[in-house]
Structures are given as structure tokens and as C-alpha cells.
Amino acid sequence: MLKIGLVGARSKSTVLGFKALAEKVEIKAICDLDEEVAQKISKEHNIPHVFRIYEDMLMSDIDAVVIATPMQLHVPQAILALQAGKHVLSEVTAGVTMDELWWLIESVEKSGKVYMMAENYCYIPQNFVISEMIKAGLFGKLYFGEGEYLHCIEDMLLHRNGQASWRNFWQLGKRGAFYPTHSIGPVAQWFGEDRIDSIACFSSGQNRAKELGLRQDDTSLTMCQMKSGALVKIRVDCMSKRPHNMSYYSLQGTKGAYEAPRGLGDDHKVWFEGMQADSDKMNWQPLADFYDKYLPNRFKRASEEEKSAGHWGGDFFLVADFVDAVLENKLPPIDVYRACEWTAVGLLSELSVTNGGRSINMPNFRKNMPLSEQIISL
Ligand SMILES: NC(=O)c1ccc[n+]([C@@H]2O[C@H](COP(=O)([O-])OP(=O)(O)OC[C@H]3O[C@@H](n4cnc5c(N)ncnc54)[C@H](O)[C@@H]3O)[C@@H](O)[C@H]2O)c1
């Protein structure tokens, strides 16, 4: 039985997923500095042990932790867990400085434990459908992709007690794409073994940000040049007053294109070569027409309990992949190397945007990465 400890209130988003795996997993403990919050989650979900202090939970009889505390705590808490011999499922982003990313990779390698980043947008079913269509060759050679995260978080700037929350500093107190993984993650997965070679970030300056007295720009665009030469564009905007759109993606290949919905009755749609011969009459086809053939079987066969975890089973499969990686002692789909590359898009974007959009090389995050490559090169 794999025994799980949760830290941070948001970790409850994994509870239904773990419960659907009750024959191999047991949630043993919940930890939150706010004891009232921890007690409430413990009662709601029958979690036997409650801790206020994370280190105390690590000394208890658990095998793995789910870290869902503020971003600046992810790496310190992940390293403590790995040192204590626990596996880690960490909320996004992986870390808040480049140094932290090297420390995280070294700690994962030294510990031999599983580390997975819980990038749940990679588990949106439509994103899996596109992955399967790519594998079937429908898009031809990929050369452009986009991800956008448009989510005004103004109302998250104050804690319940009226104090300024961590988001004033580690999110809206930064420049560039401070929260890139929901946007780059799914698109990077479509590009498979290709990796991000360099990034450059541009911003629209401060309008709303100025009114709110924050350092973040209203909108930032980060261009990721892939090793293959392909281009991926990331837009992050957590400031503008407008309807949210946190999961807009698009993809272009030599034989086909995909666009996610942008609102007002719009839907997921694709176009493939050969659909219409006349280029003036080219039209989209709903992605839903292809679910029968390309939605992975595990989504089609998802039980009501698995679907109840959220996102048509997506939240369940994220947890299931983590549990499989631990029980089968294998690399999880979003391992520490991918987690660091996607997180570094944001960390390097800050350096780029403050240097006039200068292009910055992405380190090649991989096993036993030599010290000589743990640098930020222009
Ligand atoms: N994947 C997603 O879709 C998604 C959505 C929202 C938030 N997140 C991520 O989840 C994390 C938490 O975000 P949130 O919105 O829940 O933040 P929050 O500030 O609302 O909650 C953080 C919780 O962590 C607790 N906490 C803080 N320090 C602690 C410590 N040292 N030990 C134990 N508990 C501690 C706080 O008491 C609070 O309950 C962030 O990293 C955020 O990026 C991810």
C-alpha cells in the first residue's frame, strides 16, 4: 500500500484520484500551516493524521508527498521529502530560481525517488487526442505551436486574513512569463523529443499593473525556438480585465492545423490536408468528430469514479501516472527534466524581457548534467 501525505490545501485536488486507486493507495496525512484548513480537509475526506509542521509529517510513516504550497516552497519542500526518502508529486511550477532547478535535479538523482510535476493541463483530454493524431502522422511535420494563459488573478492578491499573499511577490511581483507551464507543457509534449533551445520574451508594458502597483507587465509573449527550428509562442496575462481563457492552444504542421476554442460557441477544431481541395473553401472540422478514433482508451473506459476526479478523468490519470511510476519504479511522464525545462521558460523570460527581448539559451536539462552547462548563456 502506497501511503500518501498531502501538504497545502490545494493538494485536495488529488484526493479523488487517489481514492479511485484505493486498492493500492492510502492517504495517511494532511499538512497545512492553517490548522483549521487542514482539519476541514481531514474531516471531509477521512484523512487520519493532521500536521501543521511539514517536517513533522515527513517523519511519519508515509511513502510520498503531494506538494501544493505556494510556489516558492516547492523546491525546499521537495528536497526535504527526497532526503527523507519520499517520492514527490509537486504542483506547478517546479521552482522559482534557476539555482533551485539544479538543486532539485541533483536531489532527485541522488535520492533515486520519483519526482513528477503535476502539470494538469497536459491531461486535458483534447490535448491527448491531438497527441494521438500527431503520432498517426495527420499533422505532418510540426513547426508552430501556441499556448495562452489569460487569467486575471487580482482577487488572489490578499489572504483570508487581509495580508498580501505570496502571489504579489512570486507571481505578479516578477516580470515575464512567471507561470508558463500550463501553456508550454501541453505544446512541448506534442513536440515529443524536440526540446526548447532558446527563448526570448517581450512585454506590452504596464497599464493595469501600474494602477495595481505591481511589477508584472500586463501581457508577455515568450517565443520558444525549438532545437528542430520550430517556434512555440507563449502568452501569459494575469492582469487584464477580460474573460479568462487559461487553456488556449494551437498547432501547425505541414499537413494540418488545430485550434482550441476562444469563446462564444467556439469549439476545438482541426483541419487536415485533403479535406477540401479548393483553398478558398477550406474549413475547420470539429475535433469531437475524431474522439472515437483518437481519444485514448483509458479516457473512453474511465469509470464514473475516475471521471469524478475532474476534467473528464484528466485529474485521475495524472495521479494514476504518478502512482504507476512509483510502484513500477520508472520515470513519470512529466519527470524532473521536463519540469525544469518548462519552468525555466518563465525564469529565463524575466531575464530576457528586462534586457529588451534578448534571446537566452535554454540549458539542456538531463541526467548527470555537467556543472559547466549549469549556466545561463546568451
Ligand atoms: N495546477 C493548477 O491548476 C493550479 C491551480 C491553482 C494553484 N496551483 C498551484 O498550487 C499552489 C498553491 O496555490 P494556492 O492557490 O492553493 O495558494 P494559497 O495561498 O491559496 O494556499 C496555500 C496553502 O498552503 C499553506 N501553506 C503555506 N505555507 C505552508 C507551509 N510551510 N507548510 C504547510 N502549509 C503551508 C497555506 O496555509 C495555504 O493553505 C501554487 O504553487 C500554485 O501555483 C496550481
| C-alpha distance from residue 302 to each of 120, 186, 294, 311, 322 (Å) | 17, 21, 15, 11, 17
- Of 13, 39, 69, 116, the one to substitute when testing ligand 1's pocket (max ligand atoms within 8 A of C-beta) is 69
- Rounded-to-integer distance, Cα 111 and Cα 78, Å: 11
- Of 32, 155, 168, 184, the one to substitute when testing ligand 1's pocket (max ligand atoms within 8 A of C-beta) is 32
pLDDT at 20: 93
- Rounded-to-integer distance, Cα 178 and Cα 167, Å: 10
308: confidence class by pLDDT, cuts 50, 70, 90: confident
pLDDT digits (tens, 9 = 90+) for 124-139: 999 999 999 999 999 9
Cα(342) to ligand 1 centroid in Å equals: 20
Query: Over pLDDT 90: what percentage of the chain?
Result: 92
pLDDT at 276: 80
Closest CA to 191 of 225, 149, 221, 223: 225
pLDDT digits (tens, 9 = 90+) for 157-186: 998 888 999 999 999 999 999 999 999 999
| C-alpha distance from residue 373 to each of 64, 177, 352, 376 (Å) | 31, 23, 19, 8
| pLDDT higher than 80, residue 95 | yes
Instruction: Calculate mean pLDDT across residues 112-124.
Output: 97
| C-alpha distance from residue 192 to each of 321, 339, 362 (Å) | 18, 14, 17
277: confidence class by pLDDT, cuts 50, 70, 90: confident
Exposed / middle / buried, residue 160 (Cβ in 10 Å: 0-12, 13-18, 19+): exposed
Instruction: Calculate mean pLDDT across residues 314-341.
Output: 96
323: confidence class by pLDDT, cuts 50, 70, 90: very high
pLDDT at 378: 86
pTM score, whole prediction: 0.97
pLDDT digits (tens, 9 = 90+) for 19-37: 999 999 999 999 999 999 9
Q: By alpha-carbon position, which residue is closest to atom 17 of ligand 1?
A: 70
Cα(142) to ligand 1 centroid in Å equals: 36
**Structural domain boundaries in the chain:** 120-296+335-378
Which CATH number among 3.30.360.10, 3.30.70.3040, 3.30.413.10, 2.60.40.10 corresponds to the domain 120-296+335-378? Answer: 3.30.360.10
Closest CA to 250 of 378, 118, 144: 144
Q: What's the angle, vertex CA 341, arms to CA 191 and CA 147, rounded to 5? A: 55
